[in-house]
Every structure is written in structure tokens, then in C-alpha cells.
Amino acid sequence: MLRSDSFVLISLSVITAGLCWANVLAPSFFPVSMLSLAALAGGFLLQLRSLLLLDMVLLAALGYATTWGPDTTPGAVFVVLLTAVAVLVLSRTRTRLGVQGTLGESMLVDLRDRLRQQGEMPQLPQGWAAEVVLRPAGGASFSGDFLVATRSTDGSVFEVVVVDVSGKGVAAGTRALLLSGAFGGLLGSMAPDQFLPAANSYLLRQRWQEGFATAVHLVVDLSTGRFVVRTAGHPPVAHFRAGSGRWQVIEQAEGPALGLLAEAQFVAQTGALGRGDALLLYTDGLVESPGDDLSVGIDRLVGQAERLVTKGFRHGARKLIDAVATGQVDDRALVLIWRE
């Protein structure tokens, strides 16, 4: 037992004894249920072994208060016991994680912030712009949808991959954090045509029970506007052509979801972003509706995107995701890239 842990245990034991004695003398000001505060403090400050010792002190204090206290009710005793058991269960979970007190929550917050930081867009040159909106299911902090973006060393090539991990919420968020780090290391460090095969191999090696993910990989030459897009079980990219004034869905860039097939092939589709053109990348949570074909949701998204043409694309990503989102049942992500 650590010296600091022993000091906290002794202090809380003294406080417990003091509350018990105060309850006997002045039950109106110090009800026996106040002993639950000592149990809560122990859950935040003590390790599991010390918490067990504190619970023994609490039991002794409850026995004394029940015997000598004037107005000790069964309900108050039940509240203290229930609090002690709940704190003990939570402490066992933290012990398995190797964290103590509020460090577990702090660790989750740090993981969430890291996932968001990895999804930030790099600064694009003048004449180019991009917006990203991520919406976890149910308003949760974690999302199975994430993106990784980078620019080449000379700044002439821009790459972005949008990924949808199977599942939702915290379970999908932890897998998304692992994949975002791995994909961040792959993106830009190898030839673009090798990225999705390498990502697919990585997922296969993980051997997760829910080990698949969909992805769309976009590579843009910022000097010419030429782009290459590949998808892995992901909804198709939408391309706005300023010349025709219409959105076009790029259906040809197809491939299987990542983590399913060992020798998966991913078809590339090329195009060009001219002045005023735009690209729309999104996850299926934005266009998927129960009972409807996916194409219905894509048509709805493209229909809403047409309204951006006259108003301009700036702040368009948030407008689109607010207008098209069908509910809070799935994670949603949307990336809008345009050339001014």
C-alpha cells in the first residue's frame, strides 16, 4: 500500500468515525446516510485494497450507529450500503484499466480529443477550401466515423480518407482511434494506389469480431485540380461541375469494405476540379434510412447540395448535415471540398 494511499485511508476512517459519533449526538444535523460521502471519496482517492479496508470501517460505523443511534432507519442504512457496493464495482473496473479516481474519465476525454485533432484538415492554398462536420450517434462524444487528411511535403498533393467503422458509440470510437492512428501513418507515406490495400491488410491482421470498415480515399493535385477517388464499400463521392451547374455521383470507383477480403481490388476513378467545382464525401449514416434504398438518401443529399450552388459552399457542410440527417441512430460525417 502506498504511503499517500495509507494517509488517505486513515483520514477517511477518522472522518467516518467522526460522522458516526456526530450521528449519535446530533442525528438531525448528521444523518447516518452521510457515511455514503466517505464511500464516494474513497472510490475517487483510494486503490481497491484500501477501499476494501474503508468499507470494513463503514460497516463497523453502521453497526455502531444502528445500535446506539436514536433514529437510524433501514432506508438510510440501505443507501450507505448501496453506495459502497457501487463504488466498489467501479473501483474494480478502474483497477483493471490501471487507473485511479477520475483518471479513467480524463483518459477517455484525451482519446476523444486526439481523435478530433487527427481529423483536422491541413491548411489548403489560396483558391481551395474544405469543411468537415462529424456528428456521433445520439450526441455521444465518440464516433465510429473519422477522417485523416494530409498534404505532401511540397504541398502540391492533398489526400483525405473518410472512414466508417462498424458499430457506433464508444465501442466504435475506440476502434476508430486505433485506425485513425494507423491510417494517419499510412496516408501520404506510400503511393496512393497502395493505401487502401495496406489499410485492408491492417484490418485483417487485427482479427476483430466486427472487423470491417468502409472508406473513401481522395487524392487531389492542388496545382491542376486533377483528382483520383477510390472507395471501399463506401457511398459514392458527389462531384459538382460548375460548367453544367449540376452534381454528378461518381459510381465507378468501387471496392469491397476493408477487413473482409485478403486480395481486395479497389477501382480508381479520375476527374478534375475546375474553378467553382466541389466534391462531397460522406458516410452512410447521412443517407441511410430504414426501409429505403441507399440511392434514395443519396438523391436527397444531392438535392440539398444543389441549394448551395447559388448561396456558395462556405458553411455548406453544416447546412447539409443539418438538412439531410435522418435521426440520431447512426454516426454521420461529411466533408465538402471546393475550388473557389
Candidates 157, 162, 115; CA nearest to 284 is 162
Strand order in the sheet with 278-282: 128-135, 332-339, 278-282, 237-241, 246-250
Q: What is the mean pLDDT of residues 59-67?
A: 83
Is beta strand 237-241 parallel, antiparallel or unpaired with respect to 246-250? antiparallel
d(CA 89, CA 48): 10
Short-list 249, 233, 80, CA closest to 166? 233
| pLDDT score for 65 | 80
Angle between the N-to-C axes of helices 169-186 and 103-118, in degrees from 0 to 180, rounded to the nearest 10: 50
pTM value is 0.72
Q: CA–CA separation, 328 vs 335, rounded Å?
A: 19
d(CA 13, CA 57): 6
User: CB–CB of 174/142 below 8 Å?
Assistant: yes
Fold of 109-339: Phosphatase 2c; domain 1 (3.60.40)
Cβ distance 216 to 257 under 8 Å? no
- The one-letter code for the residue type at 14 is V
Compute the average pLDDT of residues 269-279: 95
Instruction: Give the model's pLDDT for residue 235.
Output: 92
Whole-number mean pLDDT of the chain? 83
Mean pLDDT for 220-246 is 94
Q: Where in the chain is the domain with CATH 3.60.40.10?
A: 109-339
Instruction: Give 159-181 pLDDT, tens digit per residue.
Output: 999 999 887 666 677 778 788 88
pLDDT at 228: 96
pLDDT per position as a tens digit, 111-169 = 666 666 666 788 999 999 999 988 877 666 667 788 899 999 899 999 999 999 887 66
Q: Which residue has the higher pLDDT, 338 or 64?
A: 338
What are 14-36's pLDDT values in tens digits?
888 888 888 778 877 888 888 88
Position 226 confidence tier, pLDDT thresholds 50, 70, 90: very high
What is the DSSP annotation of 29-71?
TS-GGGHHHHHHHHHHHS-HHHHHHHHHHHHHHHHHHHHH-SS
In Å, what is the CA distance from 92 to each residue of 16, 46, 49, 88? Answer: 22, 11, 10, 6
